[in-house]
Structure 1
Amino acid sequence: MSELQLKHVRKSYGNFEVIKGVDLDIKTGEFVVFVGPSGCGKSTLLRMIAGLEEITSGDLTIGGERMNDVDPSKRGIAMVFQSYALYPHMTVRENMGFALRFAGVPKAEIAQRVGEAANILELGPLLDRKPKQLSGGQRQRVAIGRAIVRHPKIFLFDEPLSNLDAELRVHMRIEIARLHKKLATTIIYVTHDQVEAMTLADKIVVMRGGVVEQVGSPLDLYDDPANLFVAGFIGSPKMNFLKGIVETNAGGEKHVRLADFGNATLPIAVKDVTPGSTVTIGIRPEHFGDSGSASLDLTIDMLEHLGGETFAYARHGDGELIIIETKNGRGLKSGDSIAARFEPTAALVFDADGRRLR
């Protein structure tokens, strides 16, 4: 049984509709990430689950019980925000136990819960410090601990790592993944960073303009995107997109001609597409190599050396940049001409409206 369900959920502010009919099932113990560009509605959807925003229409159920009109404190949910929101005059211990103390939980139980959370988050030596004596990562762990002590059924995270530097973000991602395994609790996590989504999620919900574009595991979305938006959003570096025209050769077989790449032709099977139609070919950087039946003649603009691998940024003439992952990039230099080879079977095809052609 699903722990949380959204059925035809909509949210409007006056005549402006922000969430446009979301249907979603989240199972017990899943780590689900809402991801998408700024303004796509992911944080609004999270706040509706938390009870901080009213649902205009549709139903939210948790454990089979309708929650639309249930007070946030009675939903069995704890939320961790981007802002730590710690009380500066209180110790870590007092910050973590404040909500329990406010709810009238006995002191002995508060001490037990705070101690358990501190052990999970390795905060024991910091319990008597004030927030100003903590690093950003430590403050975020205290904020998470404040949620853990409530023993919620569901954790909600709203871009909790946005205020941290790059190195600390990586560390905290590992900490949150470890926490999920240890607690085995349902987590719903909002981020605009697809790397966070790919590394943390059991299931990713990709949103755009208040609509769910696709739901699936990280690798399912990476390997089998439903449309051009998902294909371009999931993956780092992003997928390369090549504009092409469907044509038919003398033998009646269809192929795709790339006018922007010296009229190179790709023997890609394009079913149910009328010759003359415009399509977009998607190729991931790692699909280029030293072999393959298709080839693009490119000139390297710049190289990004990362040690074990190199990304070449190249183009044909004045066309769009193509990102190529190469294992032997140390021998390349800016201005080199290369033949970027790949197997057409690795390419994805999208129609003029961005829908995947299979």
Structure 2
Amino acid sequence: MPKAPEEFLSVLNTRSQEIFKKIVERYLDTGMPVGSRDLSRMLQVGLSPASVRNVMADLEDLGLIAAPHTSAGRAPTQDGLRFFVDAMLEIGSVDERERSQITQHIEGQARQGKVEDFLTEASTLLSGLSQGAGVVIATKSDMVMKHLEFVRLDPERAMAVMVGQDGQVENRIVPLPPGLTASALQQASNYLAHHVVGRTIAEARRHLGELRAEQRAELDELTQKLVDDGLATLATPIGGGQPTVIVRGRANLINDAMASDDLARMRQLFDELESKDGLLELLGDAESAQGVRIFIGSENKLFSLSGSSVILSPYKDANDKVVGVLGVIGPTRLNYARIVPVVDYTAHVISAMLARK
């Protein structure tokens, strides 16, 4: 388990902290390790390369830096990056131009009515602003119904056409009780249409269950069976309730991998995202978070094999419920100070859009 920031701060004097910070900043800026000679020129307080090497040796003993491959320079380790992010990172702010760009683009898509459209736009924007990959992971949320009707396909099946208040349309096949007449099918449609509008399917099931028996007696036995069985079918999530994943900007990660001869790492990441393994756990982590979360390398199993960093923030619906996360995936040398506030601001814009739905 990594040490807490306080443990490192207790053993690092001002000089050691400054040298460590310079190593990390150079790595985040260039992706390259830095040697003692270059460091001695970068420090405000003059130190010889030999003195810098002594400090670097202490930092290496603490596990904060290491020599990558055969390089004479040093770069931060995963523990070193975590310590830097937790104890030394100075978060910037989103400039007015970027705030305007994020808000206008997402609001423009939101006016089209479909939630997935502006979530996709958010992913695209985050990719462009970070030069990494933008990612949105959305829960399979229950649709608030605007309209529901049954259309007979054959004597044994009907199609339930569901229209959500957000404009989303979903069709599901529902089995029909043997002998159900056309008038009974229409009666079931009318009955459900009356009771589901403004509710999710789950809420409609609870609502109908609370109605007194005499209120439900207006339906004959076969029609009542269709209503009950139909609602049970519609309440079953498509695809087992797996979250929706939207990734834009994969080429940015591939280009970075090509520069580091590590394309296999990126292929592994894409496979992990496509399989969706670990995404529900990631959503669970976000649900308990108060704001932006930063995962570096192996800190989250979804990204551990690819060695990537991810910056994520939850977004919420009109009921202040976390319904997904969005953020940026990139190499461990992401510009955390700039990207963290961009991700945070984008999550707030998405939450505001969903609150208006």
TM-score by length of 1: 0.26
Higher strand fraction (1 or 2): 1
Higher helix fraction (1 or 2): 2
Larger RCO, structure (CA 8 Å, separation 6 or more): 2
Larger-Rg structure: 2
TM-score by length of 2: 0.26
